[in-house]
Structure 1
Amino acid sequence: MKLTDISRQVVGAFAIAGVSGLVLVGCNNSSAPESTTEGSTESAPAETSETTTTAASGDIDPNHTKIVIGTTEGDFADMVRNQVKSSLEAQGYEVELVPFTDYVRPNLALAEGDLDINIFQHKPYLDTFKQANNLDLVEVFQVPTAPLGLYSGKKTKIEEAYKGMSVSAPNDPSNFARALVMMQDLGWITLKEGIDPLTASKSDIADNSKYDIEIVELEAAQLPRARDEVDFAIINGNYATDAGIKLTDALAQEQSFAYINWSAVKTADKDAKWVQDVTAAYNSDAFKKYAHETFPGYKYPKIWGEDHGAHMAGDKKAASTDAAASTEAPAAAQ
């Protein structure tokens, strides 16, 4: 099935999956209907083909010499264009980028074989989507992701928190749960024991007496514009960057790695050499340097062993992020 055929399944897939509330951190929320392809550079002239073949046979997967990568348009596509593509091509692979502008077709295209790997989603979305659509996909490695952050409103420092303050938060269930967990990590509220943090709701708040917070629920896209109407604002990373807010201006960022974005492949491919090579490209020193320079304030893959807050401005770094580097490693097909 080709990508143009897949577009006919979009409406049905949304209805089946029931995941419209799962907003993907770091993804561009464009509604344009079609994807495009960005091919590899032209092949080498005939006189160099022997040398190229010899290098390829030793350095790349001989059974899979072309890699088709699907991403949403924006940061994840830029990572391929500006760093990963050239790295894999230098190794001997042919690389094609297919940017998408929705969150349904990348997984369908991967399952149908039009993509080799996609990079655009967090694990809760992948788990929900593949179960609802009976897709045999698996996550492989994490990628730098714009995290949920606490930003100033009428107040400019966390120490200015007071009883009766107002805090805005995204109103969709998935991201509202993240906001509640973040407020608990800050010591502002207490959630009931034993709840699922991925589905936490207002009814799961056990204690709000410390600050008696007025939680103002807004559409995620409205949060940056409404900062001057609340004391603090909890904003999705992609909406913060879209509004021109620097992630390094966050007063705190979420500790959890549950919503950092992952790559995904068909389960049958997870141990293939080409997958290992793509994984190595995204975890190379060159890519880390590129990510640190290009995406300051992003949450970096846990396997990097870094405190993502280390790249935030000194006094704006949240003390709570120190715990992020020591939390239990996520279960994944690394």
Structure 2
Amino acid sequence: MTTYAVHEIDVPRTMTDDPAVVQAFREWVAVQNAAEVAVTGLPELLWSPEEQLPYLLDPEGPSRLFVARSSTGTVVAAGAYDSKQAPGTPNCWISISVAPDHQRNGIGTLVADHLEDLARAAGRTQWKTYAPSRQVGPASGHGYRPAPTGFGAVPEDEAAVRFLTGRGWRFGQVNRISRLSLPADRSVVQTLHERASTAAGPGYRLHAWTGRTPTAWQEGIALLETRMSTDAPEGDMEEPEDVWTLERLREHEELRERSPRTMVTVAVEHVESTTLAGFTQLAVPDAVGQPVMQGDTLVLREHRGHRLGWLLKVAGIERIEQDHPGHPSIITFNAEENRPMLDVNEAVGFVGVGSEGIWERRV
């Protein structure tokens, strides 16, 4: 009879670390990727081990990784536990992936029990997880679990929905996954850029750079990263403020440079105050056949209403096509209730290709 056990694995510092450590990490990524693509059918969303590693080494809260192995030594599940290390931190993030050909054997329950025990032992009272879904676009009616935000839904029959509901997790929000085929329609992008620039007026100015943030803008980016935890749509799952210091930003960017992806940042300055009012970041793979991933995007609440989100979006597309031509697409994730950002996505040509359910458990 096959049995299973959960083991914590070391996170390599680099991909040239101890071969056994690197191999275990590669197996962890392989299971995670296989489980995700089995649900979404979107292999272009997957990140390689080399691409993922820098994001798991955040000194503010390095990831803890776990695998479930069968009695024959096969890795059949991957789990992750993330939480900030600051005293009094109430929240954590848990993820569980089971290899498609080993599901419905109690392995997910085994890993979930282990990770949730860690959260309890650490005194974490707000747990969150992200579950990929096959759902494309809004849905409602019989057979769907609506988000309490009133925007978006996921199919009731999905394994993750049944699993999380059975363990007492609460469905909170839907992220839409959208794709823009490149090259984009240049006339559309140019027209939207002109309209956004007119709406913003002379009180705002665009800036863009590749790689590390220039010294002049580091305080602004640190503030924007901090406000990502308070200004981005979260439904009723609000999290504590996640403060980014200059030191944290520099350490994060140093780690990110190890990835085979180049970070392109577009930011908009409020001219009168000489501070940044918004930004967007795009991770550009070294492999030209892979899609560009649009990451953190935010306009500060006090600067909304000037079409700065539109301006950042189209300026980012123009920057990618000018400096990094040849990639097949740009992929972005947005909360279904974030209609202002979905409006600009749809106007420029993004099309929904999938969803992600965000779940919470309060203890």
Scaled by the length of structure 1, what TM-score is found?
Answer: 0.28
More helix by share: 1
More strand by share: 2
Scaled by the length of structure 2, what TM-score is found?
Answer: 0.27
